Amino acid sequence: MNLPSFALLGAAPAFERPIPVGQLYFPAWDRYEAAFRGIFERQYYTNQGPLAIELESRLQAFLGVRHVICVSNATIGLMMVAEAMQLRGKVILPAFTFAASAQSLSWTGLEPVFCDVDKHTGQIALDQLAGLIDDDTSAIMGVNLWGGACDPLALEALAREHNVQLYFDSAHAFGCEVQGRKIGNFGQAEVLSFHATKVLSAGEGGCICTSDDQLAARLRNIRSSYGAGHAVPVVKTSNGRMSEAQAAIALMSLEDFPANQANNQQQYEAYASGLRNVPGVSLTVPAGVSFSNYQYLVCNIDPAAFGLPRDMVMDLLKAENVLARRYFYPGIHRCTPYVDDFPQYQDVLPQTDALCTSVMQLPIGALLTLDDIARICQILAHAQQHADAIAQAMQV
Ligand SMILES: Cc1ncc(COP(=O)(O)O)c(C=O)c1O
């Protein structure tokens, strides 16, 4: 590829249509038709219907968890858990996470305490956690990032030692295992996302996993009176119900999980081999898991070794119709309202800040073939080889 063939510099894009980063594993139309015909025949569309009940019981079996409470999305699941666990005061979480992790605390009147992360894995920095716990700390929220895990066993030991509660934002971790134990089985509760970009998709959706009967009863009542079972008293209720349409999609997606996970893994390996010799690009290996869903393809761009800063690499890919993303940017501690309410975190999270400027998420999942991945790797390799000329042409 010669310099003029980059789309950013005027050539035709490498891909005709934009390729987003998300999984987008949706089954073929005939399976939808059959599932949705059933919903219409039963005329039972929501309110903990037969498909929502079936999904919960299948997930309980698949994850090996005592209670699975399906919800309309993981964000409301996190809010419900904070309320049901009756947390007070402060909750420690990594600053390098999606807004919903911290926002769920704001919705429930809790103060976030931002912890830095490990520079290689992006997972919460275990060695810094104990120093952040004080008398007002009621819980730690671990975040299992990118098909990896934040060492939930070590977190369980730490939470026990300091007598604080522990739960997990496991939005990225459906199907992952730590020492052979499935995500969903750690801490007091875990929240998983079934958003369309996740490997288990309900279009929108999620679930809460717990083995605590009392907590499960409170969660069911907070979700809705439908499916509450024996209603226990709770102060706040919400609407976190999963519709039958969502449950139908999730049931099909659960059936497809082994094939979709295998496809992700093959794609991950294709990226790993295609980018192995590209200076300045390092692929993130799913950390701390014995089995990964390979849900995200995340790499770090080292501008000195690559020759271009991450954002310029993303612009270059975008022009080729490869919709790479920053993940997460600029760090939740730098977002409203936290940047104003908690200015003490501005310059004390060096690894979070560094990752926010270097991490780039690339497409993986249903919309890609191995040939596409080879082409994306080739674009990156050529961009690196011509970095000086590109930078000059773009007047960096
Ligand atoms: C770490 C994390 N937590 C929570 C969420 C929220 O999930 P949902 O979109 O299902 O509300 C996301 C969404 O991607 C996420 O990345």
Q: Which of 356, 246, 249 is nearest to 301 (CA)?
A: 356
Q: Which of the listed residues 98, 194, 293, 298 should we mutate to test ligand 1's pocket, taking the one with most ligand atoms within 8 A of CB?
A: 98
Atom of ligand 1 nearest to the CA of 75: 11
Q: In this predicted structure, what is the pLDDT of residue 2?
A: 53
Q: Are 366 and 26 in contact (CB under 8 A)?
A: yes
Q: In 144-215, at which residue ranges do the beta strands (DSSP E only) sit?
A: 165-169, 177-178, 181-182, 189-193, 206-210
Q: What is the pLDDT of residues 57-93, one digit of tens each?
A: 999 999 999 999 999 999 999 999 999 999 999 999 9
Q: For residues 174 and 145, what is the distance between their CA atoms, to the nearest angstrom? A: 11
Q: What is the dihedral of CA 144, 149, 154, 160, to 10 degrees?
A: 30
Q: What is the pLDDT of residues 268-327, one digit of tens each?
A: 999 999 999 999 999 999 999 999 999 999 999 999 999 999 999 999 999 999 999 998
Q: In this predicted structure, what is the pLDDT of residue 4?
A: 54
Q: For residues 381 and 384, what is the distance between their CA atoms, to the nearest angstrom? A: 5
Q: Which of 78, 124, 147, 112 is nearest to 291 (CA)?
A: 147
Q: In this predicted structure, what is the pLDDT of residue 333?
A: 97
Delineate the domains of the chain, giving CATH numbers in brackets. Answer: 3-8+256-393 (3.90.1150.10), 29-252 (3.40.640.10)
Separation of 228 CA from ligand 1 center, angstroms?
24
Ramachandran bin of 309, using left for φ above 0, alpha for ψ from -120 to 50, beta for the remaining angles: beta
Separation of 252 CA from ligand 1 center, angstroms?
21
Q: What is the pLDDT of residues 100-134, one digit of tens each?
A: 999 999 999 999 999 999 999 999 999 999 999 99
Residues 354-366 have a mean pLDDT of: 97
Q: Which of the listed residues 21, 193, 352, 355 should we mutate to test ligand 1's pocket, taking the one with most ligand atoms within 8 A of CB?
A: 193
Q: What is the pLDDT of residues 228-241, one digit of tens each?
A: 887 789 999 999 99
Q: In this predicted structure, what is the pLDDT of residue 29?
A: 95
Specify burial of residue 165 (Cβ count, 10 A radius: 0-12, 13-18, 19+).
Answer: middle
**227 pLDDT higher than 60:** yes
Confidence label for 1 from pLDDT (cuts 50, 70 and 90): very low
Secondary element (H or E) of residue 360: strand 359-362
3-state secondary structure of 139: strand
Q: Which of 137, 146, 142, 147 is nearest to 157 (CA)?
A: 142
Q: In this predicted structure, what is the pLDDT of residue 396?
A: 56
Q: What is the pLDDT of residues 15-72, one digit of tens each?
A: 999 999 999 999 999 999 999 999 999 999 999 999 999 999 999 999 999 999 999 9
Q: Which of the listed residues 70, 73, 75 should we mutate to test ligand 1's pocket, taking the one with most ligand atoms within 8 A of CB?
A: 75
- Say how many Å lie between the first and final Cα of the chain, rounded: 21
**Mean of all residue pLDDT scores within the chain:** 96
Output the DSSP codes for 282-337: EEPPPTT-SB-----EEEEE-HHHHSS-HHHHHHHHHHTTB--EESS-S-GGGSTT
Separation of 197 CA from ligand 1 center, angstroms?
10
DSSP state of 345: G
6 phi and psi angles, rounded to 5 deg: -75, 130
Ligand 1 site residues, Cβ closer than 6 angstroms: 73-75, 97-98, 100-101, 143, 169, 171-172, 193, 195, 206
Q: For residues 191 and 199, what is the distance between their CA atoms, to the nearest angstrom? A: 15
Q: In this predicted structure, what is the pLDDT of residue 55?
A: 98
